[in-house]
Amino acid sequence: MDIQFLTYLFVGGSFVLYIGIAIASRVGSTKEFYVAGGGVSPMANGAATAADWMSAASFISMAGIIAYSGYDASVYLMGWTGGYVLLAMLLAPYLRKFGKFTVPDFIGDRYYSNVARTVAVICVIFVSFTYVAGQMRGTGIVFARFLEVDVDLGVVIGMVIVFFYAVLGGMKGITYTQVAQYCVLIFAFTVPAIFLSIMMTGHVLPQTGFGATLLDSAGNDSGVYLLTRLDELVTELGFREYTSGAKSTLDVFFITAALMCGTAGLPHVIVRFFTVPRVRDARVSAGWALFFIAILYTSAPAVGAFARVNLIETVDNAAYEELPQWFYNWENSGLIAWVDKNGDGRVQMAAGDPFSGTPSYSGERGSHGERLLTNAPTDNPSEVYIDRDIIVLANPEIGNLPAWVVALVAAGGVAAALSTAAGLLLVISSAISHDLLKKQLKPDISEKGELLAARIAAAVAIVIAGYFGINPPGFVAEVVAFAFGLAASSFFPVILMGIFYKRMNREGAIAGMLVGLIFTFSYIVYFKFIAPEMSTPEHWWFGVSPEGIGTLGMIFNFVTALVVSKLTAPPPASIQHIVEEIRVPRGAGSAIDH
């Protein structure tokens, strides 16, 4: 069976599974819609949390960043993994004890202010829509290649699938769908990684193959280490060594801290700790989730290195007509491009951007059969454009793996993107229906009315998310990194101080959130959209990139909140008493409070 048929079979079968779970799990109460009724087992919740956490950025884009950036991409591994530990150990049990299942609900009650609650809702919407744009983009990329449809149509298909199980099943449907999605995505990520590790190094585990020597064409030990060979290949093409970094130490620290603290402030991950019966179960499910996450995160560096070696050895200096079929497949999807700048008919790879932005197809074919492109600068020797987000998806084809492995990876990519998108959309829905409508605008709304409002909000959010997926502000992991920066600069300080500093008051929390969010958002927008030509280390504040600026925004948040709280009245004694109580997380607490 060919790749196309198997892809339809695998992806279509997974869709049937997800929708079937959603129908079987359809909800009739807000408690089931928001927190799955609070009765999910710790292991199942751990798998669902891992799927929620390992988005399209983790599955599709992270190994792509590692493949291209090498050492510098370690910030994503350190930041995202360390951030989850920070959330699970430092914040989640206390939030679970407090009994508020949304971040705005915690902030509104802890800081005894609907204004604080509203500011938190605005922050949730900013963070979640920034994050979900990357997920919808990832869905479109998968469909563009494997279902041979336009990227925009791929996004629309993803919207329809998410609509079914997010709007019908709420958190209950999403939770059990995410358990299935975790199984699909982890199998899809590790199977090709194991295949490639065996083929290239003779090691079954990609984690050990990453540091091993390569096999020669006869299957014997070549004595050349994978990373040594990769350094040789990239430096010959004019790139810096794969194992050396270009970022400053300060920028590496700031990006890592932004990703870590942003993780701890992500509302769609926090809510998962309310779907289990007890506080103890929240801790246990956090441990399971960390185990499930580690399987992919420890494999990603090897996958990126395998892909870069295979890509260069397969494509560089090869005659266009003799390239393998996978190159033409991805070229037709618009995610790979080649322009024959020197007229020799051979594909030349070199350092630098071979096109002025995204390659623009003229609609005609050249003398070699290539797609003619209109925006290739003549002063850059590189002739090849490869979208970073396709590295994991194309890896099985580049490594000449069996067709069923290629189809499996397609299903895994869709699972990763849709699982996180659903979680984020539910967070947006609950922020609007519960934190704005129920808590502020219409406190007397019936449960049936609130459930209807939640579903309508989810549907509207899906449409907006689809727009951002069709018009994304960057490649997947970059967009997601911005979301983490926004979460770090807005939520992390007020959540942390709300738990551990009883003197923190509403005035300090509101001022801190606004300062952190506005500063970080403005910095990112300026350097990425208003003046991208200025986005260089000499123009950045203290040499900190937009990906790391969330840490500085977080510092501004902390300082502003502390100063304002010192200059204003302390919180009521009842609030201070609650803060003291939640530090000892005994009992389950209420998962939802109407």
Q: Which domain CATH number covers 179? A: 1.10.4160
Report if residue 556 sits inside a domain. no
Name the β-bridge partners of 365: 371
Whether residue 469 lies inside any domain: the answer is yes
Confidence at 213, pLDDT banded by 50, 70, 90: very high
In a domain, 387, yes or no: no
Q: Which residue has the tokens 């701890």?
A: 264
Identify the DSSP state of 40.
Answer: -
Counting Cα atoms < 13 Å in the Cβ hemisphere of 287 gives 7
Highest-confidence segment of 20-34, 113-127, 140-154, 301-315:
301-315
* Cα 532 from Cα 413, distance rounded (Å): 30
Return d(Cα 31, Cα 25) in angstroms, integer: 13
Percent pLDDT > 70 in the chain is 89
Q: What percent of the chain has pLDDT over 90?
A: 15
Q: Is 210 within the bounds of a domain?
A: yes
Backbone angles phi, psi at 373, to 5 degrees: -120, 150
Residue 531 has a CB neighbour count (10 Å cut-off) of 11
Q: What is the DSSP letter of 27?
A: -
Residue 380 maps to a domain: no
pLDDT digits (tens, 9 = 90+) for 256-267: 998 888 877 676
Among the listed residues 401, 423, 155, the one whose alpha carbon sits nearest the alpha carbon of residue 270: 423
* Alpha-carbon span 550 to 490, nearest angstrom: 9
- pLDDT of residue 282 exceeding 60: yes
571-593 mean pLDDT: 68
Mean pLDDT of the 98-124 span: 81
Write down the pLDDT at residue 593.
Answer: 42
Q: What is the pLDDT of residue 472?
A: 65
Please state the rounded mean pLDDT for residues 109-118: 86
Least confident range of 213-227, 371-385, 498-512: 371-385
Average pLDDT over residues 87-103: 75
- Tokens 């899809």 locate to 188
Residue 362's CB is within 10 A of a number of other CB atoms, namely: 11
Other Cβ atoms within 10 Å of 463 Cβ, number:
10
**Assigned domain for 235 exists:** yes
84-88: long-range pairs with CB below 8 Å, 24+ = 84/53, 84/263, 84/269, 84/289, 84/290, 84/293, 85/290, 86/260, 86/261, 86/263, 86/264, 87/263, 87/264, 87/266, 87/269, 87/270, 87/286, 88/283, 88/286, 88/287, 88/289, 88/290
For 243-252, the pLDDT digits (tens) are: 988 888 899 9
Domain span at residue 235 reads 7-216+225-307+401-474
For residue 27, the model assigns a pLDDT of: 54
At a CB cut-off of 8 Å and minimum separation 6, what does 27 contact? Answer: 33, 168, 169, 170, 171, 172, 173, 451
d(CA 549, CA 28): 43
Residue 439 is assigned to a structural domain of this protein: yes
From CA 123, how far away is CA 305, in angstroms rounded?
37
Residue 26 has pLDDT above 70, yes or no: no
3-state secondary structure of 542: helix
CA-closest candidate to residue 569, choices 33, 113, 80? 113
How many domains is the chain partitioned into structurally? 1
pLDDT at position 474 over 70: no
Q: For the chain, what is the radius of gyration of the CA atoms?
A: 24
- Residue 233: the pLDDT is 92
Q: Answer whether residue 318 is part of any domain.
A: no
Q: For residue 208, is pLDDT > 90?
A: yes
